[in-house]
Amino acid sequence: METVPHTHDARAAVGPNPSGHPSAKESLLVVASNRGPVSFERDEHGKLVPRRGIGGLVTALSGVLFRDATWVASAITDGDREIAKRGRAASAGAGQRVRFVQIDHETYDGYYNQISNQILWFAHHYLFDVARTPRFGDDTVQAWERFVEVNQAFADVLAREADRHPVYLIQDYHLALVPAMLRERVPDARIIHFSHTPIAGPSYMRILPARMREAVIRGMCGADLLGFQSPIWAENFALNVRSTPGLRIDLRTLRARDDARTIPIRSFPVAVPGHVIRETAARPDVVEAAQEIEDWRGEPALLLRVDRLEPSKNIIRGFLAFELFLKQHPEWVGRVKFLSLLSPSREEMQDYQRYGEEALAEAERINKAFGTAKWKPIDVRVQEDFHFAVAAYTRYDVLLVNPVYDGMNLVCMEGPLVNERQGVLALSVNAGAYTRVGRHALGLNPFDIQETADAIRQGLEMPAEERARRARGLTRSILAHSPETWLLSQLDELDLVRPPAAGSDHETAQESDDAFGSFNDEVGI
Ligand code: G6P
């Protein structure tokens, strides 16, 4: 795990503030997320050793934390649980500590599998098959109680850090209730909640039982500041506030309001650490893997996708689009290979198992229909291998990133940074990243298989000059933001909302009520 030197400089430059209260940048950071930066497992000598956590959230946060950060996470492995039992924080490298919240298996299942993954993740990514699912019964009521319980356990552990006057950075839907619960325990706590996922609009969110939906929106509004990956998700959240009793919203300035406080709703797009990806691409083993990919590819062009094996990534429509492209442009048969690198995810969930099986079956069917003895159109590799993925990034001609909805999407920012073939990015307009880099990509409606097939063709056939121009534009846009600026801009904004000298009184709480509409106003869809 890394710390980023110039972040420390930025922190030092702020200096002590005259009031004696630390500014957000000077404060200890306490991060809370379901999955921690590391997980502990026993090695062959029986020693507990840390392994880096997986997923976009950990990737985004790991590189940017200042020294002296404490990370509070669920105990997921037996090793984590052993550490949690000892009641002490463990080192997570570079001056960071991780404190695990002890949760028994059954409670964790309700909180993580049933509510977080099957309900909240599906709601925010518009993944329900609404003619059939979801079906909320008494099992949902029970699972919800477990979700509440775990959020309370997090709030308890976080409250114990309060005497150090930290800034709390609460991450994602798993912990949506924590800001309000923590506020009850520590009324003057400084809290940011950040959502790495999309947020569904209010009519879709109304699929959820009212009690659950309102608790999520109110729980998040316990924060001082709400962060989202894209303005679209921030606006959707604001519309959800409008339909929540007891809360009001100013849709013009995107500020929510409860009885006492005003809560800005802002977008802070996460960025990728350019130097880390580029250093990875230069590693000898990665260069070797890139050569292997070259040898395997041969003459044909390379279409690449790199994703978690996850329904929101829209893998099946990606294969169908490739099939349609081959059907409509037989001149490309034998001249392009589609490498699909899929890392296993949430394997205990039936929906994921089914989706994975269906995706692999589609690839096989297309391979049978179009493949020859010498050419396999789609090569699917289900593996967790970041270095191999980076090697593949260097070699693609077209990178297909077509999620149905995605909070941000890091693949479409990592790839162009190390690609050596002026590869073209075909990008879903429903990825948060589209707002940032879309103008240099070929935008596509992820539900439109014809449009996706057209984007594949356009990418493969694009004249060299346009490829080069778009590739330059992509690199420039991606490097314009860094993970450090992502975090620092949240902390700067927090200082505006909760000025260091102001203690627990919110300046903004004095504002006039005129701008705020309540849930009685016309409700958006
Ligand atoms: C991805 C998403 C995050 C989410 C995480 C959870 O990284 O970008 O928003 O929190 O998945 O994944 P997990 O495997 O822990 O369920």
pLDDT (tens digit per residue) in 467-481: 999 999 999 999 999
The predicted structure's pLDDT at residue 58: 78
Task: Give me ligand 1 centre to Cα 357, in Å.
Answer: 21
C-alpha 474/C-alpha 200 separation (Å) is: 28
- 517 confidence band (pLDDT: 50, 70, 90): low
Residue 116 CA to its chain's centroid (Å): 14
What pLDDT score does 447 carry? 98
B/e letters for 42-70, b = 16+ CB within 10 Å, e = fewer, are eeeeeeeebeebbebbbbbbbbbbbeebb
Instruction: Indicate if ligand 1 lies below 6 Å from the C-beta of 312.
Output: no
Is this model's pTM higher than 0.85 or not? Answer: yes
Q: Give residue 68's identity as a one-letter amino acid code.
A: D
172 vs 273 pLDDT, higher one: 172
Q: Residue 344: CB within 6 Å of ligand 1?
A: no
Listed in order, strand segments (DSSP E) in 75-210 are 90-91, 97-101, 167-171, 190-195
Please identify, by atom number, the ligand 1 atom nearest to the C-alpha of residue 172. Answer: 10
Confidence (pLDDT) at 515? 64
Protein residue with its CA nearest to atom 11 in ligand 1: 55
Q: Please list, residue by residue across 414-437, b when 16 or more beta carbons sit within 10 angstroms of its beta carbon and e when fewer do.
A: bbbbbbeebbbbbbbebbbbbbbb
302 by Cβ neighbours in 10 Å (0-12 / 13-18 / 19+) ranks as buried
Q: Please tell me the distance between residue 473's alpha carbon and the centre of ligand 1 in angstroms.
A: 29
Cβ-based neighbour number of residue 76 at 10 Å? 18
pLDDT band with cut points at 50, 70 and 90 for residue 59: confident
Quick check: CB of 394 below 6 Å from ligand 1? no
What mean pLDDT is predicted for residues 442-451?
A: 98
pLDDT given for residue 179 in this prediction = 98
Which atom of ligand 1 has the smallest separation from the CA of 117? 16
- Report, in angstroms and rounded to the nearest whole number, the Rg of the chain calculated over CA atoms: 23
| β-bridge mates for residue 191, sequence order | 168
- Is residue 308 lining ligand 1, measured as CB closer than 6 Å? no
Give dist(CA 498, CA 514) in Å, integer: 22
**The two structure tokens encoding residue 362:** 């589609």
